[in-house]
Amino acid sequence: APAFAEKFGLGRPALPEEVAAWDLDVAPDGTGLPAGSGSVEDGEMLFSENCAVCHGEFAEGVDNWPKLAGGEDTLADEDPLKTVGSYWPYLSTVWDYVHRSMPFGGAQSLSTDEVYAITAYILYSNYLVDDDFVLTNENFLDVEMPNADGFIVDDREASEAHFWNAEPCMENCKETVEITMRAAVLDVTPEEVSEEVVKEQEEIKAAAEAQAT
Amino acid sequence: MTDKSQPSTTRRGFLKAGIATGGAIATGGAAHAAQEPDPLITEVQPWAQGLGDGVDAVPYGLPIEYEDDVIRRNVEWLTADTISSINFTPIHALDGTITPQGCAFERHHSGAIELRKEDYRLMINGLVDQPLIFTYADLERFPRENRVYFCECAANSGMEWAGAQLNGAQFTHGMIHNMEYSGVPLRTLLEEAGVKPEGKWVYVEGADASSNGRSIPLEKAMDDVLVAFKANGEALRKEHGYPVRLVVPGWEGNMWVKWLRRIEVTTQAIESREETSKYTDTLEDGTSRKWTWEMDAKSVITSPSPQSPIKHGPGPLVITGLAWSGRGSITRVDVSTDGGKTWATARLAQEGQDKALSRFYLDITWDGSEMFLQSRAMDSTGYVQPTKDQLREVRGLNSIYHNNGIQTWWVNAKGEAENVEIS
């Protein structure tokens, strides 16, 4: 009969070098943060070289790429602007994410000190530190993130308790039904070009060419 | 009532399927007598005379060409590029509950990477008695389980928070797939390493550049989370995490980490980018919910729908759709044809399964008049799918994620359907 041992004895011990290579995450209390430092001044140059093509020289974002700065006090607005400065609760997340996953397409190419410097520059872009600021693993937790207290743990079971209503209305549930919004009016759904449209486009093109000659 | 003189489509029309109506003239009632013999019957057709393909023609087949509209679709304007982006499952054209892997939606943050089994490594570290490294071959030697679960992106229907926007069930509800997974319980692997008493969370991350790191409470990790390597009987598709992904039943798709490379036992949540900047849900007062893991009960009518109009005219009509809940099984789905004034309980194709898609049907006789179709799911916890307005009363308009509000399709007398919101 097979013996159901507590362990299967599969896998092998991970070596310290292997854990060090892959375990890069940094927690909000600074756990995982390596020793190092970087200035706003160095960060400005590094940001310009590595990040500005998508995120803008001032971290304000280019086209549809993420904005990293701005949006203070907009979270309750109709169209909130969520950035590191306006939204992110912890600086640890900035360091961790930039270090592991940025630049987009060239991730894990930044040194520890370069990540400190870029993080310092992002703080400066959000008016959270002065231009002579130097971020280190020592002063890291002193930086106050404006929206640190802006998050609550999922409270659906309390705030949406009324959705747990096992006897929903089945008949005469409302008087009238009126259309209030239509997707076809907005017309942003990708279209599959029909023959009719192709013909129409060709006619327009032909007419345009006729006009040009 | 609604002004029926309003045009039901834009000038250019929307989807090809949406305008391919007309033609069939049906009057309802009993089957119609043929006026002339049907040549498809009276004349010998080539396929009844000649030969088809040999068994060696296609070692691994794709759908027949006539089904070429049953494909993933992308909405370009949603994201900055197609690498950190999303596409949509053609749920309007599928039936049953199992999603064919080849058209099951994708969501990547730094693209779909190619990772060979030989190059695959899984690390367990942190607060464990013995940090471990597994190869793919090691994982295949642990006792295995098979389970069917839905994976729904937290942002599914997210574009619809502010109102009716995209015209088709594929676009409004298609960030979802449902597969049968084969894999090893995460619990088994954690027990192999030995979790220390201080361990309260696991942090899981992928091998891709985005890493997609997320924190999961140890309780969930030890419950029903799977480390999966097969889906619907075969290896995971590259785009779905080949060779190994995490399956986190009932929880938002972002946590189903693909190309899983590391599991770290920690005392605290890491509060990574994907659980602070993203996958947090902003409420009307500007505060935001975090750790909104469960996907609440939800449903959608997949046909008729904007991409699946009624082409056969009045008479018998199959109304069908999907329902699911991250908190348990679907116990009931109600369908309304009049915008929620009256409801009829639909038929579940089979008994609801825990955290998996359910298929429902309501067979009606359509009289050819306009309908406002809605479906309303109920789950084993007694939760009833709310309307969008009920959700907005609690959350406002900027939650982005977790929109499980009731969907309305306006079906006109021609059988064309449109995504609308109603009072």
pLDDT, one tens digit per residue, over A167-196 is: 999 999 999 999 999 998 877 888 765 566
Would B86 be classed as within a structural domain? no
Would B126 be classed as within a structural domain? yes
DSSP string of B332-363, one letter each residue? EEEEESBTTSS-EEPEESS---TTS-EEEEEE
Q: Could A18 and B123 be called an inter-chain contact, meaning their C-beta atoms sit closer than 8 Å?
A: yes
pLDDT of residue A76: 97
Burial of B267 (0-12, 13-18, 19+ CB in 10 A): middle
Name the stretches of chain B with pLDDT < 50: 1-28
Could you give the CA distance from residue B89 to residue B72 in angstroms, rounded to a whole number?
Answer: 5
User: Are residue B210 and residue B326 in the same domain, yes or no?
Assistant: no
Closest partner residue to A27 (CB to CB) among B171, B268, B382 is: B268
**CATH classification at residue B116:** 3.90.420.10
Would B212 be classed as within a structural domain? yes
User: Are residue B391 and residue B368 in the same domain, yes or no?
Assistant: yes
pLDDT of residue A17: 98
Residue to mutate among A189, A191, A204, with most B CBs inside 10 A, is: A189
User: What's the number of domains chain B is made of?
Assistant: 2
Residues of B in contact with A89 (CB under 8 A): 271, 276
Please give the C-alpha separations between residue B292 and each of A49, A127, B86, B140, B215, in angstroms, as whole numbers: 37, 31, 20, 32, 12
User: Are residue B188 and residue B282 in the same domain, yes or no?
Assistant: yes
Q: How many other CB atoms are found less than 10 A from the CB of residue B393?
A: 13
- Min Cα separation A110/chain B (Å): 13
Would B71 be classed as within a structural domain? no
Closest partner residue to A173 (CB to CB) among B133, B342, B397 is: B342
Would B225 be classed as within a structural domain? yes
User: Are residue B227 and residue B111 in the same domain, yes or no?
Assistant: yes
Q: Could A29 and B268 be called an inter-chain contact, meaning their C-beta atoms sit closer than 8 Å?
A: yes
User: Are residue B231 and residue B321 in the same domain, yes or no?
Assistant: no
Could you give the CA distance from residue B84 to residue B109 in angstroms, rounded to a whole number?
Answer: 4
Element (H, E) at B218: helix B218-221
Would B310 be classed as within a structural domain? yes
User: Are residue B137 and residue B254 in the same domain, yes or no?
Assistant: yes
ipTM of predicted assembly, 2 dp: 0.90
User: Are residue B213 and residue B325 in the same domain, yes or no?
Assistant: no
Closest partner residue to A93 (CB to CB) among B69, B188, B276 is: B276
Amino acid identity for residue B223 in this structure:
D
Among B261, B287, B313, the domain boundary falls at B287
Dihedral angle of Cα B387, B388, B390, B396, to the nearest 10 degrees: 170
Domain housing B250:
91-287
pLDDT of residue A190: 81
Would B116 be classed as within a structural domain? yes
Would B331 be classed as within a structural domain? yes
Better-predicted residue by pLDDT, A1 or B320: B320
| Overall average pLDDT of the A103-113 stretch | 96
User: Are residue B212 and residue B315 in the same domain, yes or no?
Assistant: no
pLDDT of residue B71: 97
Better-predicted residue by pLDDT, B328 or A200: B328
